[in-house]
Amino acid sequence: MELIIQRDKEAAALLAARIVANELRANPHAVLGLATGNTMEAVYRHLVRMHREQNLDFSKCNTFNLDEYVGLAATDPNSYRYFMNKHLFMHVNIKLENTHLPDGRAADLGAECRNYEALIARTGGIDLQLLGIGRSGHIGFNEPLSALRSRTREKALTPTTIKQNAPLFGGEDKMPRRAITMGVGTILDARRCLLLATGEEKAGIIAQAVEGPITSMVTASALQLHQRATVIVDEASATQLKEREYYRWIFANEPEWVEYR
Ligand code: GLP
């Protein structure tokens, strides 16, 4: 795992966006795994700007999002499809038919999950998976006790997650209790994983995920098993990391990061 500390939220999001953009420039047919949440808004803002200013081309890529709430239509402003259209897809030259999210309104949710996995495989697998982290330590909606080999499936949300996301819905009673999410195993199959966390409220969970034991109680910790996982944090999210100075040295000295410094 690589850990990169950036001075603030903006710099961290910009670095994540540059890594995604470079992936796309190196391979215009890249399959991108995408994430939602406040943290990702700044990343997508930078990608939209790069599209406008630097002709960053999305026309040949495919995207697969991590998750979607069960029961929400694409037109619902709280659905992740709506979020993706609003923050990224509507502002770049991506073909909407190449953008994929699980359908939380499918009549047969089990079949929807199996089909999602099959479609990822048919498209060639995910080249770069973008990830946020929830306060429960989840990646996607892989809540505590999610099997580390799990595949796309329906998952009940924890009280922590419901509390975290309920304000967007105008209260806990209005929020779905279930979601479809890629499994931890699905995420670990991506050729590269890139997790972004910013703000002091993520400092504790980031320390657990990066420096703590691999445990299904903090599914982000499963990234320790991945051969190419990069975690980008801002100073506020880095405060509880014990090996901060080591991570800073690596980023400042390893040749692979020279273009990003
Ligand atoms: C939701 C998503 C996660 C995301 C998390 C973080 O729960 N399912 O994939 O990582 O939000 O959200 P935020 O960036 O708003 O803290």
Residue 186 maps to which CATH number? 3.40.50.1360
Ligand 1 pocket test: which of 39, 168, 202, 206 has the largest number of ligand atoms within 8 Å of its C-beta? 39
128-131/99-100 β-pairing: unpaired
Nearest one of 27, 34, 22, 15 to 61, comparing CA atoms: 27
> Is residue 197 in some structural domain?
no
pLDDT at 214: 98
For 89-111, b/e burial (b = at least 16 CB within 10 A) is: bebbebeeebbbbbbbbbeebee
pLDDT at 84: 98
> Is residue 78 in some structural domain?
yes
pLDDT at 250: 97
> Is residue 85 in some structural domain?
yes
pLDDT at 74: 95
Ligand 1 pocket test: which of 164, 202, 234 has the largest number of ligand atoms within 8 Å of its C-beta? 164
Torsion of CA 91, 97, 100, 106, to 10 degrees: 120
- Residue 132 Cβ inside 6 Å of ligand 1? The answer reads yes
- Residue 102 Cβ inside 6 Å of ligand 1? The answer reads no
> Is residue 23 in some structural domain?
yes
Nearest one of 162, 256, 238 to 197, comparing CA atoms: 238
> Is residue 201 in some structural domain?
no
- Residue 128 Cβ inside 6 Å of ligand 1? The answer reads no
pTM above 0.75, yes or no: yes
> Is residue 200 in some structural domain?
no
pLDDT at 189: 98
Cα separation, 169 vs 152, in Å, equals 24
| Residue 163, helix vs strand vs coil | helix
Cα separation, 109 vs 107, in Å, equals 6
Query: What separation in Å is there between the alpha carbon of 29 and the centre of ligand 1?
Result: 26
And the tokens for 10? Answer: 């903006």
Task: Please answer whether residues 61 and 20 qualify as being in contact, where contact means their C-beta atoms are separated by less than 8 angstroms.
Answer: no
> Is residue 173 in some structural domain?
yes
Cα separation, 261 vs 259, in Å, equals 6
Query: What separation in Å is there between the alpha carbon of 122 and the centre of ligand 1?
Result: 27
Which ligand 1 atom is the nearest neighbour of the CA of 132? 10
Task: Please answer whether residues 72 and 84 qualify as being in contact, where contact means their C-beta atoms are separated by less than 8 angstroms.
Answer: no
| Residue 187, helix vs strand vs coil | helix
pLDDT at 106: 97
| Residue 62, helix vs strand vs coil | strand
Name the domain count of the chain. 1
> Is residue 203 in some structural domain?
no
And the tokens for 112? Answer: 């929807």
Per-residue model confidence as pLDDT tens for the chain (261 residues): 999 999 999 999 999 999 999 999 999 999 999 999 999 999 999 999 999 999 999 999 999 999 999 999 999 999 999 999 999 999 999 999 999 999 999 999 999 999 999 999 999 999 999 999 999 999 999 999 999 999 999 999 999 999 989 999 999 999 999 999 999 999 999 999 999 999 999 999 999 999 999 999 999 999 999 999 999 999 999 999 999 999 999 999 999 999 999
Phi/psi for 233 (5° steps) reads -130, 160
Domain containing 28 equals 2-192+208-260
Ligand 1 pocket test: which of 9, 34, 36, 161 has the largest number of ligand atoms within 8 Å of its C-beta? 36
